[in-house]
Amino acid sequence: MNKAAIAQFFATLQAANPEPRSELEYSTPFELLTAVLLSAQATDTGVNKATRELFAVANTPQAIIALGMDGLVEHIKTIGLYRNKAKHLMATCQLLLDRHDGQVPQTREALEALPGVGRKTANVILNVAFGQPTLAVDTHVFRVANRTGLAPGKTPLQVEQKLLKRIPPEYLHNAHHWLILHGRYVCVARTPRCWECAVAPWCDFEPKTPAPVRGGKR
């Protein structure tokens, strides 16, 4: 995908969704950090269902710690790997209080020093909560970047570095959401829905899958 095609690609995504948002529900940087920590190997729908009840009673590091481990587990036990996630979240809350006055830090180094926070999670927080021009490469972004020719790479870090170089600056802030949503609903893993893809004209993927036959002879 060349420079002109990339510009058209993102202009089209922007026209379709001018103000994209995370499908995780949150109202503060700490709530977003909590939701992302809980989202590994879980659906956003499942996380949102749990955090609606959790945040109603505890949406700060102090409040989470006050719940205690048993209280936290009770609120997130419907989410996969909830015991390990509870340990990470509780330890993260304590570090936020000890090192950052209970606030979510705004640097990659400080974020990645928190239990359970890797590069991908740090990028989500930096971009979504604090508006920094970076993006997280999850399975959806990795697939879309490779399949379309937008930013081919063998590892998430390679893809991230290429995306940061190739995405026009005016689109970088929202690129994370556009690519995730595109991979989640259109450029899906098994059979990409090329027949309804608005950015297909600029995509390198071939062959395009024809629209499914509805009724009649096959």
Cα 179 to chain centroid, rounded: 9
Q: What is the pLDDT along the chain (218 residues), one digit of tens a residue?
A: 899 999 999 999 999 999 999 999 999 999 999 999 999 889 999 999 999 999 999 999 999 999 999 999 999 999 989 999 999 999 999 999 999 999 999 999 999 999 989 999 999 999 999 999 999 999 999 999 999 999 999 999 999 999 999 999 999 999 999 999 999 999 999 999 999 999 999 999 985 545 555 554 43
* Residue 120 designated active-site: yes
CA 139 to each of CA 136, 175, 188: distance values in angstroms, whole numbers, following the listed order: 10, 15, 10
* Active-site annotation holder among 138, 162, 204, 208: 138
* Residue 165 designated active-site: no
Query: How many helices and strands, by DSSP H and E, does the chain display?
Result: 10, 0
State the pLDDT at residue 193.
94
Which option is the CATH number for 3-20+134-202: 1.10.10.10, 3.40.630.30, 1.10.1670.10, 1.25.60.10? 1.10.1670.10
State the pLDDT at residue 9.
97
Domain boundaries, the chain: 3-20+134-202, 29-129
* Active-site annotation holder among 85, 120, 204, 217: 120
Cα 143 to chain centroid, rounded: 13
Phi then psi dihedrals of residue 65, to 5 deg = -65, -40
State the pLDDT at residue 217.
40
State the pLDDT at residue 203.
94
Architecture of the domain made up of 29-129: Orthogonal Bundle (1.10)
State the pLDDT at residue 143.
97
pTM of the shown model = 0.87
